[in-house]
A and B are shown apart, each in its own frame.
Chain A
Amino acid sequence: DAGITQSPRHKVTETGTPVTLRCHQTENHRYMYWYRQDPGHGLRLIHYSYGVKDTDKGEVSDGYSVSRSKTEDFLLTLESATSSQTSVYFCAISDTSGRDNEQFFGPGTRLTVL
């Protein structure tokens, strides 16, 4: 299994509070991704990173920001959490771009915003 951990694994927070989720990898992979998973929507890309300090938006980036100061860590921040951001968040990593884009997923973080 790819060495990917996510923390916390579960979190309950209140509307309006800031939340930061962490993804940590030990594979030295260049690319890292944040997805959210909701019933009926599958996995949707929030943001991704193609190197240290290099990030870009995905399909559902509104209300989220990311940072990558080290190869191994990719942080997802909800500046002011809303109930619509209740979801399961997955981090993924890959070592190549373009065609051979095999992404490997972490165990997920279940976030509940009350």
Chain B
Amino acid sequence: GQQLNQSPQSMFIQEGEDVSMNCTSSSIFNTWLWYKQEPGEGPVLLIALYKAGELTSNGRLTAQFGITRKDSFLNISASIPSDVGIYFCAGLITGGGNKLTFGTGTQLKVEL
């Protein structure tokens, strides 16, 4: 099955730094979702994007729906220790029914 290419696979950054990660696909998506997952828990929805070019913020998180509809970006500003976790992108393909395709995740570790 199709998967989204998510990069980087992992990041180890200092507290206070900004973080950027992205998701790319060979297919066009109508919806992009970004989730965060902490150990032993289910993914939690952070941001939803519905329109090409759309830029949406949720606190220190900002996500963008790429113009080509084949990519999306997530930025975290001024990282803090509780940002630690795995971040997943997910895309919805037109005509694919209700099925989301997920990226393989970016693991974020924050050093104090």
A-side residues, CB < 8 A to B, are 4, 31, 33, 40-45, 48, 50, 56, 58-60, 90, 92, 94, 97-108
Contacts and interface: CB of A to CB of B under 8 A. Distances in A.
Interface of B: 1, 3, 30-31, 33, 35, 40-45, 48, 50, 88, 90, 92, 97-100, 102-105
A106 B43 CA distance: 8
Given A43-B90, A44-B102, A90-B43, 9 more contacts: A4-B42, A42-B103, A42-B104, A42-B105, A100-B50, A101-B33, A102-B48, A107-B42, A108-B41
B98 A60 contact: no
B33 to A, nearest CB: 7
Given A43-B102, A48-B98, A100-B31, A105 B42 contact: yes
A108 B42 contact: yes
Contacts, number: 67
A105 B92 contact: no
Contact of A104 (B40, B45, B99, B104): B45
28 contacts: A33-B98, A41-B3, A42-B3, A42-B88, A42-B102, A42-B104, A43-B43, A43-B88, A43-B102, A44-B1, A44-B102, A45-B99, A50-B98, A58-B99, A59-B1, A90-B42, A99-B31, A100-B48, A101-B31, A101-B33, A102-B48, A103-B33, A103-B100, A105-B35, A105-B42, A105-B43, A107-B42, A108-B41
B48 A106 contact: no
A101 B104 contact: no
A12 B92 CA distance: 34
Contacts of B31: 99-101
B1 A94 contact: no
- Sort A-B residue pairs by CB-CB distance and give the 4 closest, nearest first: A105-B42, A59-B1, A43-B102, A42-B102
B28 to A, nearest CB: 13
